[in-house]
Amino acid sequence: MPRRNARRTARRTATAGFLAVLTAACGSTGTSAGGPTSTPASPSTPTPPAASEGPRATDGGGAVPSTASSGPPTDNTELAAEALLTKAYAELSGAGSARVAYASKTYTASVMVDTADNCQGTGDASGTRYDEVRQGDKGWVRIESPSDFFQLASDAPERLKSKYAYGDVFELSTYLHGCGEAAEVLEESHDAWSTQKAVKEKTAVVGGRKVIPVRTADGIREFIVYVAAHGRPLPLRIEEVDSSITPSWTLQDFGEPVDVRTPPAAKTVDITRLDLYR
């Protein structure tokens, strides 16, 4: 396994343990979102990730309303599976940023992220809100219920009330879960972009747009990438197959700037002053 994938697996293992503790503390089994559904979402303003809908199958016939940018119409349905993945990642990489709605059985998040390591958004673990901010190698996270921090020092909940924990991204990676998942899917090394055994499947609909599902596997993990069938071959949704937490990433707002609003010093607590892992 490549070093990047090993590091991602280690972070997910640590995060899963933390979220399991948090789920038990909150008395909830978490929110499951993002699986395929036969019921289309009603038109609305974009909402937090728990409301994002999975793809629904089409017969490949009738037209589907599209929000693609103006320009000569492009039919991507004739492209081979490998070409679709390559073009989809090229569009994402070229855009440099996107809004990513991440959803799994243990955590949901809606963040705006870019390839320059900037991120801003919110997350939710079993009803507990997270405010996530990243700028370069520094991060800030505010948790609605500070006592839910894993293995906090006894005085930490009081010190963190209405404040952000601040520190290196590495130290806060467990709590910057939404930003972490969103940033990784923008990387070419993410397993979803592997063209090994790539296979096109029956067309579907994501967010009112016709898409071409491409199933791909790198030998360890399996994904389905839903690529816009017409216009720019944008990757509108990614799902991991056969995972116990059923993660998905729904993407929109490609190329929009990330408005990072770092909290003032008076609203932060240095994470090195908190004994998080005693």
Tell me whether residue 278 is in a domain: no
Tens digits of residue pLDDT in 127-171? 889 999 999 999 999 988 765 554 555 566 677 888 999 999 998
Tell me whether residue 189 is in a domain: yes
Tell me whether residue 269 is in a domain: yes
Q: Tokens at residue 140, please?
A: 């800030």
Tell me whether residue 18 is in a domain: yes
Share of the chain above pLDDT 90, in %: 52
Q: What is the pLDDT of residue 228?
A: 97
Tens digits of residue pLDDT in 255-271? 999 999 999 999 999 98
- Domain of 27, in residue numbers: 3-273
The conformation of residue 75, written as its DSSP 8-state character, comes to: B
Tell me if 198 sits within 8 A of 204, measured CB to CB: no
Q: CATH code at 204?
A: 2.50.20.20
Share of the chain above pLDDT 70, in %: 67
CA-wise closest residue to 8 among 220, 203, 204:
220
Tell me whether residue 95 is in a domain: yes
Residue with the bigger pLDDT between 145 and 208: it is 208
Tell me whether residue 100 is in a domain: yes
Tell me whether residue 91 is in a domain: yes
The conformation of residue 160, written as its DSSP 8-state character, comes to: T
The conformation of residue 40, written as its DSSP 8-state character, comes to: P
Residue 53 has pLDDT above 70, yes or no: no
Domain total in the chain: 1
Please report, for residues 37, 51, 269, the alpha-carbon distance to residue 42 in angstroms, rounded to integers and kept in the order given.
13, 10, 41
Distance CA 96, CA 186 (A): 8
